[in-house]
């Protein structure tokens, strides 16, 4: 029997009736940071969650647990391959069960509303149809293997700036057609067992207590009956959220749903015990279901799985998009580059495998581009390397390494000694040696809650001279070198969300060290009080960054130019690391950080054969675009990053990825420009979604072509494809078939995307010119021809009529277009429809 069709546990109601009111209330919030309450004596198991958009971060942020790092959702979306998405979900489920987690916090399906969205990489696309279809398959893959999917963030979490308090004004039509639509598709097709609410407010109400979203749409219109949980720290009320349908406050122990607060709400008549029963029943139903699945489907042992590594490598490569290939500079096959010199510049020695925040993973390993290319091209090529630009947003944490020096703790072993103190006491309650670096995360443990933390290390530098030291703490924090105070932050951090994800600005100081001499470095931080972010309230955490001045201030660009001048080809690796593109902060700029644009321009001035491989989850400015011959958008492709890149660069895999987002030339042309991230009114951030339904290509279709560097759906190949005439068949009230012949008339095997757009022939200002209504990936051997039949549902290009409260397809003539992108139409045909209405 499919897991979604499993009958409710036969003892569900009996167990529920056996629980006291206090125990039922206990089920409505987490017991720990990642798990719900359990009552073994009453046969109530726990739900064990883990972050998991592209890898299992379990338990919480433990540095000792390693997991497979899969490609980010933007990379998966670029494959446009629903079968691959399903395999992705299955593999993620196997990873989760190995780690003891039975509920994955993903996938993320919020829309890429603006290129500066800090968390765009974790979501699929600017297009709700593509997002919903890919999410549906990931969810089905997860739940086929007995792990609950938690689709998130419901709804409209399109920015990180003030994400817990920003109030978004969105029309119902835009909500329905753009922001709710991917949830609707995935929920109706895949029935995720859980939904996570967003932090933000929509039209004046927090999402966790939004009756229209949770009661009227999610459980009303869509008829869904799974578990609704809050984002971590995203519960904003007691009675309102419970009455609206929020089943579970996370994390635990509860901050809002404390036993006394819930009972007081019942006593005041704001809540009924029936509501408590309903919410507890939902939590219990999922907990029992997951336990039954685990008992019937035992998981294999923990550890790396070769088949997962192969899937990650394939998925990463299939998602990479060849944006430019002037004069056929790519692929760089062995035969083509034998005896040549290739300069690897930029982040070639860094695997930009994932973004920051909930999607960051302590990977089993990470293959760098340099490693991948060396393995692919062997000794037939002479490689050189230049860093070209700094990568890190913040100075690297201090730890034992060959470049900065040796660090040992009080026990003489590598690492720091961690001590935890009660305020007012100098006697440590916890002392632990071997702490790997000068960072202490506040998440994943309650050991430092309302405690003082101290990291002490004995540092022996390798270089004499001045060094930069940078620091930030959640609460008041100090840094001492041999008992000398060299840095003090006397208040809470001004950027708690940035601190949470290692992306807060850190003041830098200079201090002189002598090579071979040992210094005591002590980092001491107090717990934050009234920090303004519930999830961090009272949790101590601090970070210290470190770098020799000679390293930090070196002329990296000059070195890169010298290396490039001496090479036949220059491959420049650009992008964002997990500190630049992260949950908790929106992008600082549309331009690449650390003068990477200037680096590309300088290298292109001395080498005519430049290929840029860019690893970001978002569109970026490309002022150097006309100066380079090749360009690959590599996204964040996971732990096999370097191998996936090498597969595309050398032609071992023919690129077939297509852009799931538009790449505008200038940020001023983005649809939400001027309305992102909003404006402060009476001290509160408010944002108006004035672009309505004209998001992504729906907006760019109305602008001149030169406003866009690369349109949605664009992607090149090392082979060529020819298409026959597009035909429409089997037109019915609800659907029709689009039929097209496609032939690979190029030199190698390759994949092509059939992307079909539909729009009314007589365009109007109120509606997009066209919308993506169907897509299918087709792979063909050279010379092979195939007839492709794609079914298109009428409702998938209908619009939401606010007055009638119906999905509406207007009567008239429509055009179906086959595109190589949203702007490059190769074939089209027309058909007529009668007016049709659907309930919401």
Longest dimension (CA), the chain: 84
pLDDT at 732: 87
The predicted model gives 181-187 an average pLDDT of: 98
Q: CA torsion angle for 212, 216, 222, 227 (degrees, to 10)? A: 80
Instruction: Show Cβ contacts of residue 127 under 8 Å, excluding neighbours closer than 6 positions.
Output: 660, 696, 697, 712, 772
Q: What is the DSSP string of 223-266?
A: ---SEEE--TT----SHHHHHHT--BB-SSS-SSS-HHHHHHHH
Same domain, 41 and 71: yes
Is residue 246 in some structural domain?
yes
Looking at 552, 574, 609, which one is the last position of a domain?
A: 552
410 and 387 in a common domain: no
Residues 421 and 558 placed together within one structural domain of the fold: no
Mean pLDDT of 506-512: 93
Is 465 in the same domain as 499?
yes
Three-state SS at 24:
helix
363, 441: one domain: no
Domain assignment present for residue 437? The answer is yes
| Dihedrals phi, psi of 314, to nearest 5 degrees | -65, -45
Instruction: Give the containing element (helix H, strand E) for 286.
Output: helix 273-296
Q: Is residue 662 part of a domain?
A: no
- Outline where DSSP puts E strands in 402-505: 405-408, 416-421, 428-435, 439-440, 452-461, 465-473, 477-481, 484-489
Does residue 298 surpass a pLDDT of 80?
A: no
User: 230, 246 in Cβ contact below 8 A?
Assistant: yes
Q: Which of 211, 115, 94 is nearest to 158 (CA)?
A: 115
Interval 233-271: pLDDT, tens: 999 999 999 999 999 999 999 999 999 999 999 999 999
- Predicted confidence band at 503 (pLDDT cuts at 50, 70, 90)? confident
Q: Using CA atoms in the order 769, 773, 777, 782, what is the torsion angle rounded to 10 degrees?
A: -50
For residues 315 and 618, is the Cβ–Cβ distance under 8 A?
Answer: no
Residue 9 pLDDT > 90, yes or no?
no
Contact 770, 817 (CB under 8 A): yes
CATH number at residue 753: 2.60.40.10
pLDDT tens, residue by residue, 432-458 = 999 999 999 887 667 888 999 999 999
Q: Domain for residue 670, yes or no?
A: no
185 and 260 assigned to the same domain: yes
144 domain-assigned: yes
DSSP H or E run through 788: strand 785-793
Q: What is the CATH number of the domain that holds 382?
A: 3.40.50.1700
User: Which residue is catalytic, options 81, 208, 231, 796?
Assistant: 231
Q: What is the pLDDT of residue 123?
A: 98
State which of 552, 585, 618 marks the end of a domain. 552
Q: How confident is the model at residue 379 (pLDDT cuts 50, 70, 90)?
A: confident
Percent of the chain with pLDDT over 70: 98
* 482 and 585 assigned to the same domain: no
- The domain of 594 spans 319-392+554-657
Structure-block tokens of residue 253: 């122990």
What secondary structure letter does DSSP report for 380?
A: G
* pLDDT at residue 58 greater than cutoff 90: no
Q: Is residue 689 part of a domain?
A: no
pLDDT at 61 over 70: no
Which pLDDT does position 1 carry in this prediction? 43
CATH number at residue 281: 3.20.20.300
Residue with tokens 């209330």: 25
Q: Identify the pLDDT of residue 60.
A: 47
Tell me how far apart the alpha carbons of residues 463 and 480 are, in angstroms, rounded to a whole number.
Answer: 20
Q: What are phi and psi of 729, to 5 degrees?
A: -135, 160
Could you read off the pLDDT of 301-329 as tens digits, one per residue?
677 899 999 999 999 999 999 999 999 99
**Residues 541 and 565 occupy one common structural domain:** no
Number of domains observed in the structure of the chain: 4
* Boundary of a domain, candidates 527, 552, 577: 552
377 and 494, same domain (yes or no): no
CB 272 within 8 Å of CB 250? no
Residues 199 and 104 in one domain: yes
Given a cut of 90, whether residue 79 has pLDDT beyond it is yes
Helices (H), 605-676: 641-650
733-752 average pLDDT score: 96
Query: Do residue 528 and residue 581 come from a single domain?
Result: no
Q: Please indicate, yes or no, whether residues 650 and 548 belong to a single structural domain of this protein.
A: no
Answer yes or no: pTM beyond 0.75: yes
Of 173, 175, 166, which is closest to residue 687 (Cα–Cα)? 166
Euclidean distance between the first and the last CA atom of the chain, given in angstroms as a whole number: 30
The two structure tokens encoding residue 232: 């971590």
User: Each residue of 764-784: pLDDT tens digit?
Assistant: 999 999 999 999 999 999 999
**Which element (helix H / strand E) includes 819?**
strand 812-819
CA atoms within 13 A on the CB side of 647: 23
Q: What confidence score (pLDDT) does residue 300 get?
A: 65
> Does some domain include residue 678?
no
Strand pairing class (684-688; 508-513): unpaired
Which pLDDT score, from 0 to 100, does residue 130 have? Answer: 98
The Cα-based distances of 208 to 201, 239, 266, 344, 534 in angstroms read 9, 11, 19, 48, 15
Q: How far apart are the C-alpha atoms of 367 and 640, rounded to whole Å? A: 5
Report the CATH number that the domain containing residue 453 is assigned in CATH: 2.60.120.260
Is residue 708 domain-resident?
A: no
Would residue 669 show up in a list of annotated catalytic residues for this protein?
no
């Amino acid at each position: 029997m499919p897991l979604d069709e499993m009958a409710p546990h036969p003892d569900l109601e009996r167990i529920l009736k056996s629980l006291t009111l206090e125990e039922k209330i206990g089920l409505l919030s987490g017991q720990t940071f990642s798990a719900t309450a359990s009552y073994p004596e009453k046969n109530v198991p726990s739900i064990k969650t883990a972050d998991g958009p592209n890898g299992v971060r379990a338990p919480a942020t433990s540095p000792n647990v390693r997991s497979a790092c899969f490609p980010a959702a933007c990379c998966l979306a670029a494959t446009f391959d629903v079968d691959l998405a399903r395999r992705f979900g299955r593999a993620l489920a196997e990873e989760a069960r190995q780690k003891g987690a039975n509920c994955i916090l993903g996938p993320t399906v919020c829309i890429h509303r603006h290129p500066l969205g800090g968390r765009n990489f974790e979501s699929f696309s600017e297009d709700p149809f593509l997002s919903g279809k890919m999410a549906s398959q990931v969810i089905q893959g997860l739940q086929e293997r007995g792990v609950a999917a938690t689709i998130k963030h419901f709804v409209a979490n399109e920015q990180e700036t003030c994400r817990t308090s920003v109030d978004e004004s969105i029309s119902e039509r835009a909500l329905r057609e753009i922001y709710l639509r991917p949830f609707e598709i995935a929920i109706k097709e895949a029935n995720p067992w859980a939904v996570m609410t967003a932090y933000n407010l929509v039209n004046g109400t927090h999402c966790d207590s939004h009756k229209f979203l949770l009661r009227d749409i999610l459980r009303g219109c869509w008829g869904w009956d799974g578990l609704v949980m809050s984002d971590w720290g995203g519960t904003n009320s007691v009675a309102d959220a419970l009455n609206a349908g929020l089943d579970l406050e996370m994390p635990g122990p509860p901050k809002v749903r404390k036993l006394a607060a819930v009972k007081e709400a019942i006593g005041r008549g704001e809540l009924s015990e029936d509501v408590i029963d309903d919410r507890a029943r939902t939590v219990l139903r999922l907990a029992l279901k997951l336990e039954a699945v685990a008992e019937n489907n035992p998981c294999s042992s923990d550890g790396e799985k070769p088949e997962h590594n192969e899937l990650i490598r394939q998925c990463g490569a299939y998602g990479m998009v060849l944006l430019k290939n002037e004069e056929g500079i790519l692929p760089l096959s062995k035969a083509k580059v034998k005896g040549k010199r290739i300069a690897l510049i930029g982040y070639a020695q860094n695997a930009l495998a994932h973004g920051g925040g909930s999607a960051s993973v302590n990977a089993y390993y990470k293959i760098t581009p340099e490693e991948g290319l060396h393995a692919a091209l062997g000794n037939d090529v002479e490689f050189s390397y230049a860093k070209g630009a700094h990568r890190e947003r913040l100075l690297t944490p201090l730890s034992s390494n060959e470049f900065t020096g040796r660090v040992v703790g009080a026990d003489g072993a590598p690492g720091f000694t961690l001590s935890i103190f009660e305020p007012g006491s100098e006697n440590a309650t916890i002392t632990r040696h071997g702490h790997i670096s000068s960072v202490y995360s506040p998440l994943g443990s309650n050991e430092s809650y309302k405690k003082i933390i101290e990291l002490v290390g004995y540092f022996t530098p390798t270089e004499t001279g001045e060094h930069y030291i940078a620091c930030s703490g959640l609460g008041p924090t100090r840094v001492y070198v041999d008992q000398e105070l060299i840095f003090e932050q006397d208040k809470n951090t001004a950027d708690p969300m940035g601190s949470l994800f290692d992306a807060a600005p850190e003041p830098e100081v200079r201090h002189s060290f002598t090579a071979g001499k040992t210094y005591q470095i002590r980092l001491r931080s107090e717990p934050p009080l009234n920090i303004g972010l519930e999830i961090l309230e009272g949790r101590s955490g601090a970070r210290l960054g470190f770098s020799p001045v000679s390293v930090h201030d070196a002329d990296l660009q000059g070195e890169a130019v010298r290396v490039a001048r001496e090479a036949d080809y220059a491959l420049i690796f650009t992008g964002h690391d997990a500190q630049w593109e992260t949950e908790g902060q929106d992008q600082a700029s549309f331009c690449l950080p650390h003068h990477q644009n200037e680096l590309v321009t300088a290298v292109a001035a001395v080498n005519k054969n430049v290929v840029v491989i860019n690893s970001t989850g978002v569109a970026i400015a490309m002022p150097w675009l006309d100066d380079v011959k090749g360009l690959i958008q590599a996204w964040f492709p996971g732990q096999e990053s370097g191998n996936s890149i090498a597969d595309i660069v050398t032609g071992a895999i023919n690129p077939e990825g297509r852009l799931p987002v538009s790449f505008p030339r200038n940020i001023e042309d983005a649809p939400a420009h001027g309305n992102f991230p909003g404006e402060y009114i009476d001290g509160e951030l408010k944002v108006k979604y004035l672009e309505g339904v004209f998001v992504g290509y729906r907006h760019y279709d109305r602008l001149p072509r030169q406003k866009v560097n690369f349109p949605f759906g664009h992607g090149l190949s090392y082979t060529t494809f020819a298409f026959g005439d597009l035909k429409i068949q089997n037109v019915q009230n609800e659907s029709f078939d689009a039929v097209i012949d496609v032939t690979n008339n190029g030199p190698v095997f390759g994949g092509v995307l059939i992307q079909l757009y539909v729009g009314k022939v007589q365009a109007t200002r109120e509606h997009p010119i066209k919308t993506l209504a169907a897509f299918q990936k087709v792979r063909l051997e050279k010379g092979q021809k195939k007839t492709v039949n794609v079914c298109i549902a009428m409702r998938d290009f209908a619009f939401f009529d606010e007055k009638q409260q119906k999905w509406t397809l207007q009567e008239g003539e429509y055009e179906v277009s086959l595109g190589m992108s949203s702007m490059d139409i190769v074939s089209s045909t027309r058909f007529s429809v009668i007016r049709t209405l659907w309930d919401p």
